[in-house]
C-alpha cells in the first residue's frame, strides 16, 4: 500500500493534494489541526474543508488532528505507516507577513521547527519517500523591488529587454534583503529541505510559489489574495489595497496546477531541488486588474479603499520563471489562467459566501 502523507491537509494546497491523490487510488494520511483559525480567526477556519474530505473519501482519507511541532505525535504517525509512505507533501505553515511580526516565536516554530520534525521523521522512517515542501518566493526578500520597472496604466511592468522579462528564476540572491519574519522562517525551512536532500540523499524539492489560489481557499484579510478579493466583491465587505498605487503584479497558480507539478516530481524525483513555481506569464495580474475582473464576474462593484503605505517587504512585481521545472518535467503545463481561476472561485463559493 502506497501512502501519501499531507500536512495542512484541510488548507488550499493540502486539500487539493488529497483530492488529486485519492482520485489516483492512493490512501492519503492528512495532518491538520486548523491553526489557520488560530492565526486569522473563525472566518479562516478550514474545518468545513476537512469535513468535506472525510465525507468524500471515507477510509481512503485518514485525518489526524495533530500539530506538526509535536514531535512525539508526528513520530507515532510516521512509525504507524513507516515505509508505506511514498510521498510527503508539506503545506502546513503560518503564511502571513503581518501575522509573523505579531508572534515571531509561533511563526518560526511552525514554519521552521515543524519542517525539521517532518524531515527527521522522514529520514528515520521512510527515507526512500519523496519530500515536497511548499516554500515561497519570499525567500528572495524584497530584492525583486530593485528591478527596473515601468509604470503602466494599471500595472508595473519590467523593461522588455530585461533578463527577467519571462519571470524571476532560481538564481536570484536571497541575501541582503528584507524578507519579513515570515520570509525568514520559510528560508530556514527551505534550506533544511535542501540540506536533508543533499546531506542524507533524500528526494526533496522546494517549490517557491507566490500567490497560490483556488476555490478551496479560506481567504482572509491577511492571506489569500484572490479568494478574499472575490469574497469581498460578492459580500459587499470593504477591501483595502496597500501601496504601489494598486499596480503591484502577482502571478497566480491554481491549486490543481501546483499539485499536478508535485505529481510530476513524484513520478521522477530528484535530490535537493529548488523550483520557482507560479502562474508565470500565463496567469498574472495587478491588483487593479484583479479588482476589475472580480467586478465583471460578480456583476457588483467592490467597496475598496487605498492605503498609501505598502506592506513591509512586499513585492512590487513578481512573475515566476518556470522554465527550469518545465525543462525537468516537459509533460507538465499550466491549465488555469486568471479569468478561469476567478470564475471558479465565484461559482464554487456562491452557497458558502452568500
> What is residue 310's DSSP assignment?
P
The structural domain count of the chain equals 1
Element at 27 (helix H, strand E): strand 27-31
Q: How far is Cα 27 from Cα 4, in angstroms, rounded to an integer?
A: 6
Whether the predicted pLDDT of 330 surpasses 80: yes
286 is in which domain, residue-wise? Answer: 3-353
* Residue 68 pLDDT: 98
**What is the pLDDT at residue 307?**
96
Output the nine-digit C-alpha cell for 324: 527550469
pLDDT of 166? 97
CA distance 210 to 354: 28
Q: CA of 18: how far to CAs of 4, 127, 128, 295, in Å?
A: 8, 22, 21, 31
Give CA–CA dist 36/216, Å, rounded: 14
What pLDDT was estimated at residue 318?
98
Confidence of residue 44 (pLDDT cuts 50, 70, 90): confident
Q: What is the pLDDT of residues 187-212, one digit of tens each?
A: 999 999 999 999 999 999 999 998 99
Element (H, E) at 229: helix 225-235
Long-range contacts of 15-19 (CB under 8 A, 24+ apart): 15/46, 15/49, 15/52, 15/53, 15/216, 15/255, 16/214, 16/216, 16/255, 16/256, 16/258, 16/259, 17/89, 17/91, 17/259, 17/262, 18/53, 18/57, 18/61, 19/53, 19/56
Q: Is the pLDDT of residue 80 over 80?
A: yes
Give the separation between CA 265 and CA 269, rounded to whole angstroms.
5
pLDDT exceeds cutoff 80 at 218:
no
**Mean pLDDT, range 260-278, rounded to an integer:** 98
pLDDT confidence of residue 224: 72
pLDDT in tens, 129-158: 999 999 999 999 999 999 999 999 999 999
When pLDDT is cut at 50, 70 and 90, the band that residue 1 belongs to is low
Residue 219: per-residue pLDDT: 74
- Supply the pLDDT for residue 151: 98
Q: What is the reported pLDDT for 312?
A: 81
The answer to whether residue 19 scores a pLDDT higher than 90 is yes
The CA radius of gyration of the chain, in Å to the nearest whole number, is 19
As a whole number, mean pLDDT of residues 27-35 equals: 97
The mean pLDDT value for 215-229 works out to 81
Taking residues 22-48, report their average pLDDT: 94
User: Cα separations (Å) of 252 from 290, 302, 347?
Assistant: 11, 20, 18
Mean pLDDT score, 77-95: 97
Using CA atoms, how far residue 120 sits from 84, 114, 117, 180, in Å, is: 17, 10, 5, 26
Give the per-residue pLDDT at 120.
98
Asked whether the beta carbons of 150 and 116 are under 8 A apart, the reply is: no
Band of pLDDT at residue 234, cut at 50, 70 and 90: very high
Q: What is the CATH number of the domain that holds 202?
A: 3.40.50.720
Percent of the chain residues past pLDDT 90, beyond the cut:
91
Low-confidence winner among 38-42, 49-53, 108-112, 236-240 (lowest mean pLDDT): 38-42
Amino acid at each position: 500500500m502506497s501512502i501519501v502523507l499531507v500536512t495542512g491537509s484541510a488548507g488550499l494546497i493540502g486539500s487539493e493534494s488529497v483530492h488529486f491523490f485519492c482520485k489516483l487510488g492512493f490512501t492519503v494520511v492528512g495532518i491538520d489541526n486548523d491553526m489557520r483559525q488560530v492565526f486569522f480567526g473563525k472566518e479562516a477556519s478550514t474545518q468545513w474543508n476537512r469535513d468535506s474530505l472525510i465525507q468524500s473519501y471515507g477510509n481512503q482519507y485518514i485525518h489526524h488532528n495533530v500539530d506538526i511541532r509535536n514531535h512525539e505525535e508526528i513520530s507515532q504517525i510516521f512509525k504507524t505507516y513507516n515505509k508505506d509512505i511514498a510521498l510527503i507533501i508539506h503545506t502546513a505553515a503560518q503564511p502571513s507577513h503581518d501575522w509573523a511580526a505579531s508572534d515571531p516565536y509561533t511563526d518560526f516554530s511552525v514554519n521552521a521547527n515543524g519542517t525539521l520534525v517532518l524531515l527527521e521523521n522522514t529520514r528515520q522512517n521512510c527515507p526512500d519517500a519523496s519530500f515536497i515542501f511548499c516554500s515561497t518566493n519570499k525567500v528572495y526578500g524584497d530584492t525583486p523591488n530593485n528591478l527596473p520597472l515601468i509604470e503602466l496604466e494599471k500595472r508595473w511592468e519590467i523593461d522588455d529587454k530585461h533578463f527577467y522579462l519571462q519571470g524571476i528564476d532560481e538564481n536570484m540572491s536571497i541575501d541582503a534583503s528584507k524578507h519579513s519574519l515570515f520570509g525568514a522562517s520559510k528560508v530556514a525551512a527551505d534550506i533544511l529541505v535542501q540540506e536533508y536532500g543533499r546531506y542524507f540523499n533524500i528526494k526533496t524539492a522546494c517549490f517557491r510559489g507566490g500567490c497560490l489560489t483556488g476555490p478551496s481557499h479560506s481567504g482572509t484579510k491577511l492571506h489569500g489574495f484572490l479568494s478574499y478579493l472575490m469574497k469581498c466583491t460578492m459580500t459587499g465587505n470593504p477591501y483595502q489595497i496597500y501601496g504601489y498605487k494598486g499596480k503591484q503584479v502577482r502571478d497566480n497558480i491554481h491549486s490543481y496546477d501546483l499539485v499536478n507539478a508535485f505529481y510530476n516530481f513524484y513520478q521522477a524525483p530528484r535530490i535537493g531541488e529548488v523550483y520557482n513555481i507560479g502562474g508565470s506569464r500565463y496567469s498574472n495580474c495587478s491588483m487593479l486588474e484583479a479588482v476589475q475582473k472580480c467586478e465583471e464576474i460578480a456583476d457588483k462593484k467592490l467597496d475598496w479603499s487605498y492605503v498609501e503605505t505598502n506592506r513591509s517587504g512586499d513585492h512590487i512585481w513578481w512573475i515566476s520563471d518556470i522554465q527550469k521545472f518545465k525543462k525537468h518535467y516537459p509533460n507538465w503545463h499550466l491549465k488555469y489562467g486568471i479569468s478561469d481561476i476567478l470564475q471558479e472561485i465565484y461559482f464554487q463559493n456562491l452557497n458558502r459566501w452568500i
